[in-house]
Amino acid sequence: MKKPATFSTKIDIKLADELKNDLKEQGFKFSKPPYTLFAAEKKGIVCILYESGSLVVQGKEKDEFIEFYLEPKILKTFNYTHPEANLNLTPHIGVDEAGKGDFFGPLCIAGLYADGEGIKKLLSMGVKDSKKLSDSTSLKIAKNLNADFAISVVRIFPEKYNELYLKFKNLNHLLGWGHATVITNLVEKTGCKYAIIDQFASKSVVESAVKRKKLTINLEQRTKAEEDLVVAGASILARASFVLGLEEMGKKYNFTFPKGASSAVVESAKKFTAQFGQESLEKVAKIHFKTTEQVNNA
């Protein structure tokens, strides 16, 4: 939806000095038209604060200014850039996974806890479902999430993954155990008893895994859970953990492991087994995938 040419809002006059100082640091030039506390201008943006507390922002660069400075720092609301967000500001844990559809590399399950202020911070950091971000952006945001939030990541490299898969005999049960482990870790760290996860199987799978951990928690499972910012943050952590895990494997074997389970992956797996031997495949790949048959039958 096209944004209006002029953005208007009301702010507390007590914030005028903070706003002015910030704008000075950002290189704005100031004037004082009638009935204003100040008008500030730089290329692409005009910002006028009236004596009444009305704030008007205009110019072709205004949207970025509002999204990355004005809303998170001054307004503390996100109604302009994210009118659809309808943020759930209740403190909660979000959990998501990465790598389950990739033949090579680890399975990564990540959790993140945020309270109301933390959730606003996630929005200001540009957090969204990792599938909508490049891997390089996910890695950058994950670094900040690691520094600023309570997190938990379970990363299961292929050798251990294949061993656990034989034990659980089902990927969903393995995922349920991983989700329950991450949730338990974050409950212990934060005391929070409310978690949202992306539903990947029957609800009873994770509920049973949580019960086995003797954990009492309000567990919400839903499809497209990454629309929740905390789950989106968890998806970024999981993706970053997977990407870094694949890189670690690559360095260990001096081999480039592609993502996914495509025909290109089959060709890479054939090259890998030719170089390192058939028995080495279980150290780098999830061998219950049909891809293994395609490699072995070549």
Out of 41, 75, 109, a domain closes at 75
32 and 117, same domain (yes or no): no
Q: CA end-to-end span of the chain, whole Å?
A: 51
Q: Are residues 46 and 102 in the same domain?
A: no
Q: Give yes or no for a contact between 184 and 207, defined as CB atoms under 8 angstroms apart.
A: no
Residue 22's domain is classified under what CATH number?
Answer: 3.30.310.10
Domain assignment present for residue 85? The answer is no
Question: What is the domain-level CATH number for residue 181?
Answer: 3.30.420.10
Which domain covers residue 70, as residue numbers?
6-75
For residue 141, being part of any structural domain is answered with yes
This prediction's pTM: 0.74
- Token representation of residue 90: 């209740």
Q: Is 192 in contact with 113 (CB distance < 8 Å)?
A: yes
**147 and 15, same structural domain?**
no
Q: Report in angstroms the alpha-carbon separations of 112 from 73, 179, 225, 230.
A: 23, 12, 13, 6
Indicate if 65 and 198 belong to the same structural domain: no
Residue pair 279/178 in contact (Cβ under 8 Å)? The answer is no
Rounded distance, CA 55 to CA 49, Å?
5
pLDDT given at position 82? 66
Q: What is the 3-state secondary structure (H, E, C) of 202-251?
A: CHHHHHHHHHHCCCCCEEEEECCHHHCHHHHHHHHHHHHHHHHHHHHHHH
Q: What is the model's pLDDT at position 126?
A: 85
- Residue 261 has what DSSP assignment? S
Q: Please tell me the distance from the alpha carbon of residue 23 to that of residue 205, in angstroms, as a whole number.
A: 52
Coil vs helix vs strand at 10: strand
Look at residues 27, 43, 75 and tell me which one is the last residue of a structural domain: 75
Per-residue pLDDT at 206: 94
pLDDT in the model for residue 85? 52
Q: Domain check: are 241 and 265 in the same one?
A: no
The SS3 assignment for 106 reads coil
Where is the domain boundary, 44, 75, 106?
75
Q: Are residues 105 and 240 in the same domain?
A: yes
Q: HSE (CB half, 13 Å, CA atoms) of 31?
A: 7
Same domain, yes or no: 240 and 256: no
Strands (E), 64-207: 92-98, 107-114, 150-156, 194-198
Do residue 244 and residue 257 come from a single domain? no
The residues near 199 (Cβ < 8 Å, ≥ 6 apart) are 221, 222, 223, 225
- The owner of tokens 């058939």 is 278
| 150 lies in some domain | yes
Q: Which residues fall within 8 angstroms of residue 143, CB to CB, at 6 or more apart?
A: 240
Residue 102, SS3 per DSSP = coil
One domain for residues 264 and 239: no
Same domain, residue pair 169 and 237:
yes
Say yes or no: 121 and 236 in one domain.
yes
Beta strands (DSSP E) in the chain are 6-10, 29-31, 36-42, 45-50, 54-58, 92-98, 107-114, 150-156, 194-198, 218-222
Contact 85, 123 (CB under 8 A): yes
Cα torsion 138, 195, 224, 291: sign: positive
Q: What is the pLDDT along the chain (298 residues), one digit of tens a residue?
A: 556 789 999 999 999 999 999 999 999 999 999 999 999 999 999 999 999 999 999 999 999 999 889 988 898 877 787 654 557 789 999 999 999 999 999 999 999 999 999 998 998 888 988 998 999 999 999 999 999 999 999 999 999 999 999 999 899 999 999 999 999 999 999 999 999 999 988 999 999 999 999 999 999 999 888 889 999 999 999 999 999 999 999 999 999 999 999 999 999 999 999 999 999 999 999 999 999 999 987 5
Domain count, the chain: 3
The answer to whether 225 and 96 are in contact (CB under 8 A) is yes
Say if residue 166 is in the same domain as residue 240. Answer: yes
